[in-house]
Chain A
Amino acid sequence: MAPSLKQTMLLAGLLLGLLAAGCSRRPSGAPPGDDSAADAATRDGDEPQRADPTLTAVTLQLNWYPEAEHGGFYAALAHGYYREAGLDVKILAGGPETPVLQQVARRAATFGVVNADNILFGRAQQAPVVALMAPLQISPRCLIVHESSGIREFDDLKNMTIAMSNSNAFSQFLRHKLPLPGVKIVPYPGNVAQFLLNKDYAQQGYVFSEPFVARKEGGDPKVLMLSKLGYNPYTSLLFTHDDQVREHPRLVSKMVTASVRGWAQYMRSSDEANAWIHRVNPQMELDILQYGAETLKPLVLDEVAEQQGIGAMSRARWQTLADQLVESEQLKPDDVRVDQAFTTQFLHGEP
């Protein structure tokens, strides 16, 4: 029973209609690709506080879906610190493959959020990116193992499976640092399902996320912090393009100061920022965000931050990280450019 010409035409028309509807749906100005990012962007745009001509519009590109490790930036947005500083900040959600460094390096985004090792890799490839403030003094990166496995420290890791992303610098550091006899390393699956099923299984995580989910699902996670092993890159760094620092130091200064304020607020009370994060990333429930904010406190407010203020960075820490990356054969000694990787000039108010 061959379809008649009329039927075929009808079907073709239907398809064309669908196509047209699909094309017209994308909001103008939203980045193509990741739909959740587009949604998050439009939702931010729908807030009452929009398009004020006296404000300078800037974008902040995140390295992951909005989560607690971005909390302070959302606090600055939710409490209006960015607006008070004269900035109309649009936070763009990231994901697993978001090219954050590239976006900032080609000035498609004004500011970005990455970890310190990313900045050093970027500088090694001559990307003009510079870190401005480090909200997380202590890296939340961890491995989770089963409490019942008897594993208490990194040296106990043997004859098991560890799920961690090969492309992540800490994973290569771990492989160089530890003997790991009989350990099979597999890619990070992005959830804790395998962990719950398999006793001889460890996986990477952020201390305020994977352990919480695993416990909620009835698992018995034991946390091993990478920072205890000495690998401790500054995390959720705010960074920008070299030219931005040179051409618009006042703008950069405002962004840094308001972000530091945001992080201080997030440490005092996280409710409003968490509500905002939950709105743009509904996958993140309020309970896990609250747990995240609590768990972040000792990572953000360590001794250094108490003395020098939130966001402080030291050359010694950057140099240690660079040495570790060289040692684990991820950076060539000639490519290390520590002094270009960061600046503390904006951390203490107006320049």
Chain B
Amino acid sequence: MKRAGVRLLQVALPPLAFFAAIVAIWQLATMLWDIPGYLVPSPGRVLGAAREHAADLRAAMRLTGSGALCGFGLGLLAGTAMGLLFSQSRVIQRSVYPYAIFLQTVPIVAIAPLLIMWFGNGFGGVVAVSFILSLFPIITNATAGLTLVDTNLLELFEINNASRAQTLFKLRLPNAVPHLVVGAKISCGLSVIGAIVGEISAGFGTESFGLGTLINMATSKLDTAYAFAAVICSTLLSIAIFAAVNSIGATIMARWHIAPARSSTTDMNA
């Protein structure tokens, strides 16, 4: 127990010290050069704004978070399904995969208003944008995990007359798990970005505002401290979702994944 405490300190102390140093330099710089708050607010002012608008920020984080999680969840399901499809048919993979790349390259800010036209304003539109951004890392990683299987193992399955389904569920799918976890880690952060971009175009309705809307409103009133506070909340939201995905991924890998990947599992936990 004591060892764990020491270890936690070792892990947590350096980033905390770095954070404190940055905040101190930031505060000092704004005071020393007398930088006006509407250009760069001091950490003190940002904290003040965060306190003043705490209720709005909390509500916005809940709203943006639920939009992002829905987009991410749908992305995980649809991306894995497409990966499964690709792993079963070369023809489908060859003909559809190039269009999946489109998802990665499309300028989301430009097409967000179009998505809103199709999926409507409010929650649906926000989820749609978040989904589009989350999808691609899942598709590529799922496809890679399902297709890049050790040929020796494939031959072993063949020699033993394994059915297609058996090969898929007993060999390909377990092989894909670490890849899927990596994909999920990439796309959960993107889903938050997607939700915020979506909010700016789609909104959430009349009374409730997400983080994207708050950032927009604060900026237009030159309330840069409030905008900073909202941006920091977006980051905290991403970090929280990432941490959740990371620990779920680690649990799955530790409990369920087969022996050969154990070394990489411990790496991820370290």
Which B residue sits closest to A172, measured CB to CB? B217
Stretch touching chain A among B114-122, B241-249, B251-259: B114-122
Which A residue sits closest to B120, measured CB to CB? A186
Set B36, B116, B205, B220: member contacting A105, Cβ < 8 A: B36
- C-alpha gap A167/B209 in the complex (Å): 11
Residues of A within 8 A of B219 (CB): 167
Which A residue sits closest to B200, measured CB to CB? A187
Judging by beta carbons under 8 Å apart, are B38 and A125 in contact?
yes
Distance between B229 CB and nearest chain A CB, rounded to angstroms:
14
Question: Is the CB of A344 closer than 8 A to any CB of chain B?
Answer: no
Stretch touching chain B among A188-196, A262-270, A287-295, A307-315: A188-196
Judging by beta carbons under 8 Å apart, are A185 and B203 in contact?
yes
A102, A186, A190: which has the most chain B beta carbons within 10 Å?
A186
Which B residue sits closest to A180, measured CB to CB? B206
Distance between B160 CB and nearest chain A CB, rounded to angstroms:
33
Question: Is the CB of A101 closer than 8 A to any CB of chain B?
Answer: yes
Judging by beta carbons under 8 Å apart, are A122 and B216 in contact?
no
Question: Is the CB of B224 closer than 8 A to any CB of chain A?
Answer: yes
Residues of B within 8 A of A189 (CB): 113, 116-117, 201
Distance between B171 CB and nearest chain A CB, rounded to angstroms:
27
Question: Is the CB of B42 closer than 8 A to any CB of chain A?
Answer: no
Residues of A within 8 A of B50 (CB): none
Residues of A within 8 A of B77 (CB): none
Mark interface residues in B208-230 (1 if CB within 8 Å of A CB, else 0): 01000100110111111000000
Judging by beta carbons under 8 Å apart, are A184 and B206 in contact?
yes
Judging by beta carbons under 8 Å apart, are A167 and B36 in contact?
no
Residues of A within 8 A of B201 (CB): 187, 189
Set A118, A125, A166, A183: member contacting B209, Cβ < 8 A: A166
Distance between B119 CB and nearest chain A CB, rounded to angstroms:
12
Judging by beta carbons under 8 Å apart, are B223 and A125 in contact?
yes
Question: Is the CB of A239 closer than 8 A to any CB of chain B?
Answer: no
Instruction: Tell me the chain A residues, 184-216 only, with Cβ under 8 Å from chain B.
Output: 184-187, 189-190, 193-194
B37, B117, B202, B222: which has the most chain A beta carbons within 10 Å?
B222
> Would A102 and B38 be within 8 Å (CB), given that A122-B222, A166-B217, A190-B113 are in contact?
yes
- C-alpha gap A194/B219 in the complex (Å): 27
Judging by beta carbons under 8 Å apart, are A330 and B113 in contact?
no
Judging by beta carbons under 8 Å apart, are B217 and A125 in contact?
no
Question: Is the CB of A59 closer than 8 A to any CB of chain B?
Answer: no
- C-alpha gap A168/B220 in the complex (Å): 7
Judging by beta carbons under 8 Å apart, are A127 and B202 in contact?
no
Which B residue sits closest to A168, measured CB to CB? B220
Instruction: Tell me the chain A residues, 92-143 only, with Cβ under 8 Å from chain B.
Output: 101-102, 105-106, 118, 121-122, 124-127
Residues of B within 8 A of A176 (CB): none
Distance between A338 CB and nearest chain B CB, rounded to angstroms:
17
Residues of A within 8 A of B203 (CB): 166, 185-187
Judging by beta carbons under 8 Å apart, are A121 and B222 in contact?
yes
Residues of B within 8 A of A127 (CB): 36, 38, 222
Instruction: Tell me the chain B residues, 107-127 only, with Cβ under 8 Å from chain A.
Output: 113, 116-117, 121-122
Question: Is the CB of B39 closer than 8 A to any CB of chain A?
Answer: yes
Judging by beta carbons under 8 Å apart, are B206 and A122 in contact?
no
Please give 13 more A-B residue pairs, beta carbons under 8 A apart, in addition to A125-B223, A186-B122, A330-B221. Answer: A101-B222, A102-B222, A122-B222, A124-B222, A125-B37, A125-B222, A126-B36, A166-B216, A167-B213, A184-B121, A185-B203, A185-B205, A187-B200
Residues of A within 8 A of B (CB): 101-102, 105-106, 118, 121-122, 124-127, 161, 166-169, 175, 180, 183-187, 189-190, 193-194, 330
Q: Would you mind naming 16 contact pairs between A and B with Cβ atoms under 8 Å apart?
A: A101-B38, A106-B39, A122-B38, A126-B36, A126-B38, A127-B38, A127-B222, A166-B209, A168-B220, A169-B221, A175-B206, A184-B121, A184-B205, A184-B206, A187-B213, A189-B113
Give 8 closest A-B pairs by Cβ, nearest first.
Answer: A167-B220, A186-B121, A125-B38, A167-B216, A125-B222, A121-B221, A185-B206, A187-B203
